[in-house]
Structure 1
């Protein structure tokens, strides 16, 4: 087990439950609300915590029309303490987090996250006639914030003309970046 000191805190690999989970009310939250929950937890270990990725997680019900979901997961780099942190959000509340060894991945600076899932879902529905998915893999609309070597993408997942589709936007300004359509398996 790797252990690192950051100020007076000691950071150790492991899975940690959040004590307040059962006392907080259940609610749907947007991508930025989920991101802020995770970032707040990450900054308890490293003031320079920075996002690696964030996405909604299927909850078995058709939801997301308002850009909000109950379940999310994401990962943050904790560069000062040489670790990463994975956060699990269920029912709109931080449920647990896992501290793991650091890895070389592209990061998403806070300054690049200005557009929320509540904004892009409306654009995808209006401009592309995106419908919610309802299959064994996914229910409703889903959202993810990821990056590659060059670009940062904010995606909304659903269906267009009976095909699975993901519409991508720039998370800084909301500009349409492209889409991916895959035929639905019968």
Structure 2
């Protein structure tokens, strides 16, 4: 669990300092998604919004991970419907070092950045998530997590409920983490689910 929380800390503080790129022309050909009046997206909606831009970057692009960005001002109800306004969606090309990040702010693509680094280790195929394997989305898995009664929304930092999707390479399982805090706000907690089956996955320390 400590390793998972450390990864979450690093990703949640990546609040979109990457250079912004105009992406209106790309969006004109992308699938139109229904968003709420507050421009909130579920994790699957955010991935589907980002995917066309990744495929234009490289036709062999596949999903590495997705996580919401902690940009919301403190208030009640952040993420309580399983949706967030701001996301980082990472893509790569299997067995290469190619890496591409799509940043979403207020429910719209706001940044496209090629993060490929010369000399970086290649991403093995086992690290990638197949979109068709995502059968359960963040709203329904948050509901499952809350029914377990052990996770509460953050108040001041890592606010509300947060969501991360990645591949667990040890078990070859696509996993969504529902991230929050304990009741007294002293320790971050994560509840994991298999996004293909909806099964709860106990997190190891």
TM-score above 0.5, yes or no: yes
Q: Following superposition of structure 1 onto structure 2, how do residues 12-161 of structure 1 map, counting pairs within 5 Å?
A: 17-20=21-24, 27-61=39-73, 62=75, 63-79=78-94, 83-101=98-116, 103-105=121-123, 106-135=127-156, 137-150=157-170, 151-161=173-183
Cα distance between partner residues in 1 of 2:38 and 2:80: 18
Shift, 1:38, TM fit: 1.4
Which shows bigger deviation, 121-130 or 26-35?
121-130
Aligned to 2:57, what secondary structure does the other structure show? coil
> Would the alpha carbon gap of residues 148 and 31 (structure 1) be closer, same or farther in structure 2, given more than 3 Å must change?
same
On the 8 A contact 2:97/2:122 being kept in 1, the answer is no
Shift, 1:128, TM fit: 2.4
Shift, 1:26, TM fit: 5.5
Count of equivalent residues = 166
Structure showing the higher helix proportion among its residues = 2
**Any idea what the Cα deviations from partners look like across 1:59-87, whole Å, max 9, x if unmatched?**
23341000000000021013599622111
**Any idea what the Cα deviations from partners look like across 1:127-171, whole Å, max 9, x if unmatched?**
224221113x31100000122322332001112332421100001
Cα distance between partner residues in 2 of 1:82 and 1:179: 29
Aligned to 2:71, what secondary structure does the other structure show? coil
Shift, 1:126, TM fit: 1.6
> Would the alpha carbon gap of residues 158 and 134 (structure 1) be closer, same or farther in structure 2, given more than 3 Å must change?
same
Shift, 1:46, TM fit: 2.5
Structure showing the higher strand proportion among its residues = 1
Shift, 1:20, TM fit: 2.6
**Any idea what the Cα deviations from partners look like across 1:105-139, whole Å, max 9, x if unmatched?**
3211223222111111111112224221113x311
Please say if 1:175 is aligned against 2:190.
Answer: no
Cα distance between partner residues in 2 of 1:109 and 1:64: 24
Cα distance between partner residues in 2 of 1:88 and 1:148: 23
TM-score normalised to structure 1 length = 0.77
On the 8 A contact 1:55/1:73 being kept in 2, the answer is yes
